[in-house]
Chains A and B, each alone.
Chain A
Amino acid sequence: MISRREFIQASLAASTILGASGLSRWSRVMAQQSLTQDQLLEFDSFGNVTLIHITDIHAQAKPIYFREPEINLGVGDAKGRPPHVVGKDFLSMFKLQPNSPEAYALTYDNFTDLAKSYGKMGGMDRVATVVKAIRADRPEALLLDGGDTWHGSMTSLKTAGQDMVNIMNALGTDAMTSHWEWTFGQDRVKEIVETLPFPFLGANIFDVEWDEPAFEPYKIFERGGVRIAVIGQAFPYMPIANPKWMFPDYSFGIREERMQEVVDEVRAEGVDLVVCLSHNGFDVDYKMAGRVKGIDVILTGHTHDAVPEPVLVGETILIASGSNGKFVSRVDLDVREGRMMGFRHKLIPIFSDVITPDTDMAALIDNERAPYKAELEEVVGQTESLLYRRGNFNGTWDDLICDAILSERDAEIAMSPGVRWGTTLLPGDNITREDIHNATSMTYGACYRTEMTGETINTILEDVADNIFNTDPYYQQGGDMVRIGGMGYHIDVSKPIGERVSNMTLLKTGEAIDPARSYVVAGWASVNEGTEGPQIWDVIESHVRKIGTVQLTPNESVVVTGA
């Protein structure tokens, strides 16, 4: 009898050094070997500085399944470039074996079978083990959190982010930046920031009234004899993508010229290394790396991409560390005479059955969950379908959510936001209340019901599509397409705004959507203040209790061209 632990194998050892030929030595180990914690942590220490990067945890303290996207289209220059490569193309680009642990961790193919073989990923107690091991090797390693940390679970919602704050403090975080943190409201953010033992960085967070920097832009650390500037870049489109009324005193934006100013300022102070801890999203960071001079490393977040090798833009390296606690990046750097001379990197996959949980962190997490345990674990129903969200268009979680909205709110058309968070359930799994929250938890979850004309619906689809498929990354907000229930449409992603969406059809009747007619539309996550309706997780729970077992049919209502 072979245990799962022995079955799993691979050294996800990426040891890429600047100037070395052949970027990809990421993994060649055969699938029969067993995977061990030592293998996952194996790293030939390099240089004199170590950065540990984790981002977009979305408050997932416990191990989860998270299926990577099947569709992640790049437009313009980004077409075919990581992270816009999925499935088999991804495997061949990074020389990975199908059905290997890396294939499971990084792609979507055969997800259900591989998930059953390799088990859940993440868990902040496992992350703690990895962080401690790196620090045992490199005591002065910097642990940097890219944000989207306090939001995304039922416990984080109930504690207004406090459970994750306690976890990240215990983990020994050295600095963080932010996005969904702000959806707890500016007063709550300020209240937490005052208690943090580390800086909450955001060079691009400005005071609305005076248009002046409002938060610490950077922090200079002295580690291993090296002076390291860590510059924070919060999510640029906070007041546009999330409810502005929750943080009315702050303005964000990419503010490229501000980033250059701050880089110049820290360079003038004589730092040896400049690191940008960013929540811009991959394509925005890629563009920024090519335009702002003097950044050595961008630790990128927001778009949830896990890229197994650093991406080079000029002399800047981009590190993308995935989401939901699935990965921790270790980046070793050789910094001499004020210059980054080389790097070695490893995207460490957190296989929860392989990495031993850190006892103290496990106890802390259980303690945070204890008051809500019964509520969290209550079984609401079962699923026979794989439930996932990530991908440019409808995921199965969204199909279920849209079904729930149509049925519970008696609507003709349902809308569900194209956020990139939301964990995965396997066929045969129970659906607990916590699972529903993992796909919906938020401070503005009211499920509204209203009327919209066909023209308005089209305008919304066009606008959201332009936030994803605008060929200039600086105009991309980093979410996925709004999910639609009850209506199908065609989309040509290569067209400009106003011309992408066509053939809008009401599925129930097969009739074309009439621009002039009003339709009953229900949805959730409105950015409007005062939106009324039941909370979306209650809507879904009620629906699932009625149907008992979720069985979804494949959704072919969105036809995509131009990719």
Chain B
Amino acid sequence: MKLSRRDALALALGGAAAAMLPARAMADAAADAIAAFTGGAATGTGGLTLTAPEIAENGNTVPIAVDAPGATEIIVLATGNPTPSVATFKFGPAAGSQAASTRIRLSKTQDVLAIAKMPDGSFVQASSTVKVTIGGCGG
């Protein structure tokens, strides 16, 4: 039986090539995306809910949702992906709610980050660590 590294990990009880790099400051690409969205403005917290699983059941399709009442725009970044930008949601004046959900691909364990632009031009952010593991060993 010839196995790829990923297969071997899944085969063994534990699994998981959870990234060994301790969150090396946020990848430059993510920092660039944030700066482009906020224009360098400081971001606060509160008023934005990011819902994501603690551990991904399948790193290739991770369900996430954002909700920021009143926001005009929300961006979602997968800070550890080679291309961090995931989505930008824009809400017009007629929008009934400022919430969205989608599924994203995560290459490894990382923080998912959402930033909302509020009507007064301020920004708020929320983040959530999503662990990508192959698993096994459930007692």
Residues of A at the B interface (CB closer than 8 Å) are: 179, 211, 235, 237-242, 244, 251-254, 257, 302-304, 415-421, 448-452, 456-457, 459-464, 466-467, 472, 474-475, 477-480, 482, 496-498, 521, 523, 525-528, 531-532
Contact = CB atoms under 8 A, between A and B. Distances in A.
B55 A419 contact: no
Interface in B55-113: 55, 57-58, 63, 101, 109
B136 A464 contact: yes
B44 interface: no
A448 B139 contact: no
Contact of B13 (A450, A451, A526): A526
B54 interface: yes
Contacts of B55: 237, 240, 253, 475, 477
Nearest to B131: A475
Interface string B118-134: 00000000000101011
Interface of B: 1, 3, 5, 7-18, 20-22, 49, 51, 53-55, 57-58, 63, 101, 109, 129, 131, 133-139
A461 B14 contact: yes
7 contacts: A240-B133, A417-B137, A419-B137, A467-B14, A498-B18, A526-B11, A527-B13
B138 A240 contact: yes
Contacts, number: 152
Contacts of A459: 9, 16-17, 20
A421 B139 contact: yes
Contacts of A480: 137, 139
A477 B15 CA distance: 13
A479 B1 contact: no
B137 A479 contact: yes
A425 B35 CA distance: 63
A526 B136 contact: yes
Nearest to A238: B138
A418 B139 contact: yes
Given A523-B13, A526-B11, A242 B22 contact: no
Given A464-B13, A464-B14, A417 B5 contact: no
B138 to A, nearest CB: 2
B57 A252 contact: yes
A419 B138 contact: yes
Contacts of B3: 450-451
B138 A235 contact: yes
A253 B54 contact: yes
A133 B112 CA distance: 53
Contact of A241 (B18, B101, B136): B136
Contacts of B133: 240, 463, 467
Contact of A479 (B10, B17, B138): B138
